Amino acid sequence: MQNLKVDIVVMGSGGAGLTAAVTALDYGASVACFEKRPFQAGSVSNCAIGVTAVKNDPRYQAAAFNSIFNYTNYNGDPGVIKAWINNTWRILPFMDKVGAKYKLRAELPLEKVGKGEAGGFPPQTRIGDAYYMIGRGKGHGSAIVALQSRRYFEAHGGQFFVDTPIVDIFTEGGKVCGVLAKHNKTGEEYKVECKAVIVASGGFGNDREMIKKYIGHNYTDNNCSNGGDVLFNFFPTETMTGDGHKLCWKLGGAKGGMGINGHNLVPGPGIIGNTPWIAYDETRVMEEQPYFWVNKNGERFVDESQSSNHMAMGTSIARQPGKMGYIIYDDDTREYLETHGPDFEYFIFQAEHLHDIKGQFERLAKLGNEHAFMTDTLEELADKAGIDKEGLLKNVARYNYYCDQGRDGDFSKDPKFMRPVRKGPFYALRVFNAGYSTVGGIKVNGRMEVINDDGKPIPGLYSAGDCMVGELWGNPPVGGIGNYSHALGFGFTAADSACEYIGIKEEEL
Amino acid sequence: MKLEIKDYCVRCGMCEDLYPEVFHLNVPEDRIDIKYDEIPPELEEKALGAIADCAVGAIFKK
Ligand SMILES: Cc1cc2nc3c(=O)[nH]c(=O)nc-3n(C[C@H](O)[C@H](O)[C@H](O)COP(=O)(O)OP(=O)(O)OC[C@H]3O[C@@H](n4cnc5c(N)ncnc54)[C@H](O)[C@@H]3O)c2cc1C
Ligand code: SF4
């Protein structure tokens, strides 16, 4: 057993944890950061290509606040929404400080706040300037931000422990007074005396019971092999077992809104690799396209031109019978895609080319993927894919009629995306709602203080990142997202509040 | 040529996506496996590619 004494302990070294750790250190606190995996970075190891930052200007901040609060139907926590928005400008100087590089991708004029293209998310969430973090080699920039943050933290006297999860948080007289951490391999224990703990342990995407109990979905793996209905495990998420949630709740913290950071995804082998941004397979791009989507009754259920709004597609798929949808093309559309190129291309899942869609479907079949279908007739397609035949034929006829009329009588989809389904062979992909991770669960106020059911803070206990981000979106979180910008914004806020609490930073009004 | 991977590798698995002949993302052990103790000459170019491409510069020649 090793005994340590610091001012602040940080649980987790993802975007939220490392930002909080570095910020608290710079205020002059002594800080120890414990990470469960053998390295830093958390979820950003697998992505986070870009980040949103709202200008440090009250006009922009107010417009952004109004857009998000309105989007949540006034159900999100206004303090939490402000904490995020009003702290995002700090992201850029933070990156400068730790030595990470970024580049402006798109500046957002004031009149466009809450409107326009939001890169996979609803327009109301497009509230700030979009930046790319500049990566190394073929990697993504946030991995570098995490590494640089860790280096900065260690170089400035922070104590960083990998492979050493926090297993308990202690209180004395109701106030946080310490933690217990235990090395995964050696079993060595660390008893740490501290004044405050910042819980930044991410989601619970790998805890099936929690997913069922709090989100109501059945977890399934990458191949959908256990017949579940929400894919979680398509990127390594072993450590995401809601450890921080459980400890906060044990100490009397209230449960906050919980949901899925969702999007549409075809399961099974051959669709995506480890790293979503490396062009891996054309089928991943085909599932972005805005043509003809139905449920297993053969009914359309959404304006398909939302297909690049991943969260919307994920949520609408989850509402369908069997929590699944189908994307169907005919051979004319195959030819169109191969010659003209895709209509939609999500900047993360880029294809270098779409040149052999038939070949791709054959390859998927060889790999044992059970979610891609290619048949000569629509009747066969319905049989093979498990779609109600009568429903499919009826709705294809209806859709084809709308295509001929140039007017979508069901969803008013933009006519330019109305492509009929007539000429075989026909292609179908079965698509599910997939979770990058979970959203929320720890209830906090706008100071990132973990609060109990009466809304009173547990002194010394703070939380930031995916584990509390549900508070932004209400309960249940309306189309919740947990992203890198949130993780950083909340990380700053949690560090500010913890340093005020321990008396090394003056409280701001 | 021998390769080593520094402990700060973020296990993104990109090296496996790009150079599956050389790397394997070992998910249960949460590490990257290098498939050869001594990289065969015909794969050296790929190994050098991985050193250049790695997300955090964690792959080195030993
Ligand atoms: C595949 C994927 C793609 C994404 N793409 C984007 C994108 O393009 N843009 C974007 O903005 N966002 C993206 N996100 C979301 C974004 O990465 C996350 O919202 C954000 O990084 C969450 O940060 P966090 O610090 O809250 O949690 P995490 O980064 O998940 O960090 C939590 C850390 O806590 C550790 N931990 C868990 N339990 C313990 C314990 N008991 N003790 C100590 N440590 C513990 C975990 O190991 C982990 O390292 C993506 C997420 C995923 C998974
Ligand atoms: S690309 Fe680099 S950081 Fe990613 S898994 Fe390979 S060695 Fe690790």
Ligand 2 site, residue B24, Cβ cutoff 6 A: no
Minimum CA distance residue for ligand 1 atom 13: A48
Per-residue pLDDT, A266 = 86
Task: State how far the Cα of A485 lies from the Cα of A64, in Å rounded to an integer.
Answer: 14
Token pair 């730790």 is found at: A98
- Residues listed for chain B: 62
Residue type at A299 in one-letter notation: E
Per-residue pLDDT, A230 = 73
Ligand 1 site, residue A76, Cβ cutoff 6 A: no
**What is the crossing angle of helices A331-340 and A357-366, to 10°?**
110
Distance B25 CA to ligand 2 centre (A): 9
Evaluate the omega torsion of the peptide bond into residue A321 and state whether it is cis, within 30 degrees of 0. no
Q: Which residues of A touch B32 (CB under 8 A)?
A: none
Task: State how far the Cα of A133 lies from the Cα of A483, in Å rounded to an integer.
Answer: 14
State which H helix or E strand residue A93 sits in. Answer: helix A91-98
pLDDT, tens digit, 9 for 90 and up, residues A370-415: 899 999 999 999 999 999 999 999 999 999 999 999 999 999 999 9
Please tell me which residue, A120 or A500, carries the higher pLDDT value.
A500
Ligand 2 site, residue B22, Cβ cutoff 6 A: no
Q: pTM for the full model?
A: 0.94
Per-residue pLDDT, A326 = 96
Once rounded to an integer, what is the mean pLDDT over residues A113-132?
A: 85
Per the structure, how many domains does chain B have?
Answer: 1
Per-residue pLDDT, A279 = 61
Q: Which of A38, A238, A275 sits opposite B12 (nearest CB)?
A: A275
Helix (H, G, I), strand (E, B) or coil at A103: strand
Distance A374 CA to ligand 1 centre (A): 37
Reply yes or no on whether the pLDDT at A98 is more than 60.
yes
Distance A41 CA to ligand 2 centre (A): 12
pLDDT, chain A, mean:
91
pLDDT, tens digit, 9 for 90 and up, residues A22-40: 999 999 999 999 999 999 9
Once rounded to an integer, what is the mean pLDDT over residues A346-371?
A: 81
pLDDT, tens digit, 9 for 90 and up, residues A281-296: 677 788 889 999 999 9
CA distance A31 to chain B (A): 20
Q: Which residues of B touch A41 (CB under 8 A)?
A: 10
Q: Do A236 and B54 touch (CB under 8 A)?
A: no
Q: Which of A136, A238, A275 sits opposite B56 (nearest CB)?
A: A136
- At B28, which CATH number? 3.30.70.20
Per-residue pLDDT, A233 = 58
Task: State how far the Cα of A325 lies from the Cα of A327, in Å rounded to an integer.
Answer: 7
Averages of pLDDT over runs of 10 residues in chain B (62 residues) are 96 92 92 96 97 96 93
Residue ranges of domains in chain A, CATH in brackets: 2-204+443-501 (3.50.50.60), 263-434 (3.90.700.10)
Going by pLDDT thresholds of 50, 70 and 90, the confidence category of residue A118 is low
Domain assignment of residue B16, given as a range: 3-61
DSSP A41: -
Instruction: Report phi then psi at B37, rounded to 5.
Output: -70, -45
Q: Which residues of A touch B14 (CB under 8 A)?
A: 138-139, 274-275, 278
DSSP A38: S
Of A153, A139, A184, the closest CA to residue A38 belongs to A184
Per-residue pLDDT, A349 = 62
Distance A200 CA to ligand 2 centre (A): 24
pLDDT, tens digit, 9 for 90 and up, residues A132-186: 899 999 888 899 999 999 999 999 999 999 999 999 999 999 999 999 999 999 9
Per-residue pLDDT, A350 = 62
Q: Do B10 and A147 touch (CB under 8 A)?
A: yes
Once rounded to an integer, what is the mean pLDDT over residues A119-139?
A: 88
Once rounded to an integer, what is the mean pLDDT over residues A193-210?
A: 94
pLDDT, tens digit, 9 for 90 and up, residues A206-224: 898 999 999 888 877 777 7
Of A465, A496, A497, A450, the closest CA to residue A90 belongs to A496
Per-residue pLDDT, A116 = 73
CA distance A155 to chain B (A): 15
Reply yes or no on whether the pLDDT at A280 is more than 70.
no
Ligand 1 site, residue A40, Cβ cutoff 6 A: no
Q: Do B27 and A280 touch (CB under 8 A)?
A: no
Pick from A13, A36, A39 the residue to mutate for testing the B interface (most B CBs within 10 Å): A39
Distance A435 CA to ligand 2 centre (A): 23
Q: Chain-centre distance of CA B6, in angstroms?
A: 10
Per-residue pLDDT, A424 = 96
Please tell me which residue, A434 or A99, carries the higher pLDDT value.
A99
- In sequence order, the 6+-apart residues with CB closer than 8 A to the CB of A319 are A301
Best probe residue, ligand 1, of A484, A488, A492 (max atoms within 8 Å of C-beta): A484
Of A234, A233, A324, A326, the closest CA to residue A271 belongs to A234
CA distance A234 to chain B (A): 11
Tokens for A160, please give them. Answer: 């960083």
pLDDT, tens digit, 9 for 90 and up, residues A442-458: 999 999 999 999 999 99
Reply yes or no on whether the pLDDT at A227 is more than 70.
no
Ligand 2 site, residue B49, Cβ cutoff 6 A: no
- What percentage of chain A exceeds 70 in pLDDT? 94
Q: Which of A11-20, A235-244, A287-296, A332-341 has the least mean pLDDT? A: A235-244
